[in-house]
């Protein structure tokens, strides 16, 4: 019975539409019950806090916020930056002290292990974490939009690497978000998994790993959401040397989006969690570009 379920599940999940997944995420969202801030640091222009958001759906999310000093209103950005970076990205962003930044840690539980058959269990845990994360990111956006210090017309979601699989749904599902920026990521989850499965040590053949993993994670396939972003702007920044998200993956996602949209290619490889300098360089390029573009309009 279990084997039959594993065989049938990818096809059943992949067949569901954007509307099925949208309704599922919104049903899980709930309301913000508490938002606890703990002081971390202060500079002449900003204050940094760790946060713990608790929702009425009996779930919680931790992360970090950097707030400009003053009354505002300030532009704001919700940063969705992959499992192993999370809140640490706040410390890597320099020179944008007039922007309110919020970054979340992902509620992934268990061992991060794709070796052999452990990949199947890890993929299901990723699915579980994703179903928790998207509604909680929507709660984060609710909190930002409630702040008097936030410019309600200028809230951006920045999704980096595997953070796109939760950041894209959250940005699309909240119509108040002004624009979405996707960095070093793409679409076609099945293809991404198949492309990387040998590198990760998955026991299954690449095509089978892609089919199974893409089905299990079908609710987070960015191409299901991206066409619903319009008329809001999409900016994509991708690396020509990215070994995780190929040019084909980036172009599939870009082509699925409607205007207005823009894709920018740079020469870097895919950023890894320990590569602080590259993370800092990319993040500052993205945040700087967003607000430079805004100021020129």
pLDDT digits (tens, 9 = 90+) for 137-171: 999 999 999 999 999 999 999 998 888 999 999 99
Neighbours of 109 (CB within 10 A): 9
In a 13 Å sphere around the CA of 138, the CA atoms on its Cβ side amount to 26
Residue owning tokens 């992360």:
63
Long-range contacts of 70-74 (CB under 8 A, 24+ apart): 70/149, 71/148, 71/149, 72/100, 72/148, 72/149, 72/150, 72/151, 73/148, 73/149, 73/150, 73/151, 73/152, 74/98, 74/99, 74/100, 74/149, 74/150, 74/151
Count other Cβ atoms within 10 Å, centred on residue 42: 11
CB 157 within 8 A of CB 170: yes
Query: Roughly how many angstroms between the first and final C-alpha of the chain, as a whole number?
Result: 59
What is the spatial order of strands in the sheet that 74-80 belongs to? 32-42, 46-55, 59-68, 100-104, 74-80, 150-160, 179-183, 233-241, 261-269
pTM value?
0.88
Please determine, for residue 130, whether its predicted confidence score (pLDDT) is greater than 70.
yes
What is the model's pLDDT at position 1? 46
Beta bridge partners of residue 159, listed in sequence order: 80, 182
How far apart CA 171 and CA 184 sit, in angstroms, is 17
Neighbours of 243 (CB within 10 A): 11
pLDDT of residue 9: 53
Please list the residues that pair with 116 across neighbouring strands: 202
Omega before residue 231 within 30° of 0, cis: yes
Alpha-carbon distance of 175 to 272, in angstroms, equals: 31
**Interval 222-263: pLDDT, tens:** 999 999 999 999 999 888 878 788 889 999 999 999 999 999
Going by C-alpha positions, the residue among 294, 55, 60 that lies closest to residue 181 is 294
Distance of CA 290 to the CA centre of its chain: 17
CATH 3.40.50 fits 2-31+115-296, yes or no: yes
pLDDT grade for 48, boundaries at 50, 70 and 90: very high
Average pLDDT over residues 208-224: 92
Tell the residue number behind the tokens 């199974």, with chain if given: 212
């Amino acid at each position: 019975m279990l084997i039959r379920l594993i065989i049938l599940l990818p096809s059943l999940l992949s067949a569901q539409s954007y509307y099925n997944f949208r309704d599922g995420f919104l049903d899980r969202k709930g309301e913000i019950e508490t938002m606890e801030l703990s002081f971390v640091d202060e500079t002449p222009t900003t204050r940094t806090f760790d946060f713990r958001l608790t929702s009425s759906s009996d779930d919680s999310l931790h992360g970090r916020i950097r707030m400009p000093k003053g009354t505002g209103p300030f532009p704001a950005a919700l940063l969705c930056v992959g499992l192993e970076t999370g809140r640490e990205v706040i410390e890597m962003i320099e020179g944008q002290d007039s922007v309110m930044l919020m970054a979340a840690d992902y509620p992934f539980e268990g061992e991060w292990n794709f070796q052999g058959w452990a990949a199947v269990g890890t993929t299901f845990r990723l699915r579980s974490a994703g179903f928790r994360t998207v509604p909680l990111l929507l709660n984060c956006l609710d909190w930002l939009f409630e702040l008097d210090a936030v410019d309600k017309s200028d809230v951006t979601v920045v999704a980096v690497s595997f953070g796109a699989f939760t950041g894209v749904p959250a940005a699309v599902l909240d119509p108040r978000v002004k624009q979405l920026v996707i960095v070093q990521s793409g679409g076609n989850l099945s293809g991404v998994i198949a492309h990387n499965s040998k590198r990760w040590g998955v026991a299954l053949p690449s095509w089978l790993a892609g089919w199974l993993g893409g089905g299990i994670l079908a609710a987070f396939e960015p191409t299901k959401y991206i066409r619903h972003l319009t008329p809001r702007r999409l900016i994509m920044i991708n690396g020509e040397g990215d070994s995780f998200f190929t040019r084909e993956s980036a172009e599939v996602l870009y082509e699925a989006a409607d205007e207005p949209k823009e894709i920018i290619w740079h020469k870097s490889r895919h950023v890894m969690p320990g590569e602080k300098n590259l993370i800092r360089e990319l993040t500052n390029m993205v945040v700087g570009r967003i607000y430079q573009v805004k100021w020129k309009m």
